[in-house]
Structure 1
């Protein structure tokens, strides 16, 4: 599967946005990590208020350059932060990884689709999974993706585990829409903060573009996302629920102008979909063994960005399963 790599861009419009992200960059610099480039408009109202300690971390450019980078005619956004991004057909990638494992490790790997687990009982050295009328005995169990609230986990050894409704990961339903452009445009990822202060209730919106092959022709698939809502108490996510017309209208009015200003409002979309996302309270993925019983492991909490973190988490979990001692990590379950 094709994976496109490029520098993504995030639009910012307040001093708070700059202070938060430039301070993050300062920590990266102090820790020897890659620093993300940042440019600020010469017309930014807060330009003179940016703390002096951040001066080496940004460059002042004309407002026209900000608009060009974000491909937006509006002057609302006054700064851009760059970060390395990648874009691919993640569903196809998952299918190809699955096929690879089935071909190369038939004696070690088994995939059983549509087998929802209702209950997991953790013992000292194994676990019993109840799936419909079947019971499966496993040496270790890994909870991953976003299937974190539709089953019961019981610990027969020691302290009871935290219940599903108060577990680290909470469910949010995210909504996306996409349209095909016949013009071949370069891959990109653009995000736009909408809160005046970072951490507010209004989610950011984002646009991704990547090559899209249809009937032997390469086009451009432009995707828009951002709207989401939390699962209510005791609510189970239903994949078959129709896409809400109200949300699509909001996306068409608010995100479409950022994705493709030349696209007429009200034009039908080629794809609409929604999915379940897992959010942790602090926005940090949980990767590793359950402290109360290491028979259970986690790779949970996409926090809206699940592609690369899930791969990183899978690699760490595999090393734990192989018995490799690992240094403490910020991702360790507590």
Structure 2
């Protein structure tokens, strides 16, 4: 896990802020867009940032615990939804097309043999994780392989000219894994991290809570907001999915390459928590796109000190919140680059 991520040099802050303030508007009138423009300028270390070749990556993987009843849907839905992505029919396909985003689908560990397919990146570590109710979800070697493969994918995107990457996921049972990760990496009570996921009814939600409490007790790891990288890696191996681990690696690789990261909701947020424990400076490269309706997402945002761009009551996953927030990032960079200054427009400034 030899990543080298430093916070962007803040020496450019004053000049960027001066450029923002001198636009033909009252000070601060564009609100969050101004803070967003400043962030992107600092990540790219320029007064004129670019968002070339924007890309969404959807990571898919299966979870051994899914067959124990932590989800309302059968495990086969994972591979069936991958087929839907490849056919262009899922929500993320629609939103990516509507907003001019490239889209890649990665088989990180689906329990299905797709064979060679156009549009599918085969990075499978194994056909699904083990059942964390009985044993760790993955070995240390499998975890590290997933992290490394994700980082390699991000570096390939950066080498091809990509400047901004958004993250999505698919994996039946992964809200349960995200709940366990969030509990252990933020110190939030487990019950407060568990939601209905794909639509559990009250008895289903009660069963999910009981199963996850059993998994946490089996592993016996501390739940703390102050744990370091080794703790995060241990938690990831115990409860994570291959899609979550590969996303964390891709986030680390993307930040190391200087890309802007579009962080989606709850499951993507759990991968980001792992990445942030390994390399805290990664937070400076992230745009937190939306507030999920899953209760555990509030704990993630609080732990990261993050304010999301939009709150639409979403809980679909797939990276849909990131795709919907993307136009706001484009608008922030566009006003920084194209909006007239008081001087260039011949407009009088405030007296």
**Higher strand residue share:** 1
**Higher helix residue share:** 2
Structure number with greater CO (CA < 8 Å, separation at least 6) is 2
Q: Do both proteins adopt the same fold according to a TM-score greater than 0.5, normalized to the shorter chain?
A: no
**Greater Rg, structure 1 or structure 2?**
1
Bin the TM-score by the shorter chain: under 0.3
Give the alignment's TM-score, normalised by structure 1: 0.26
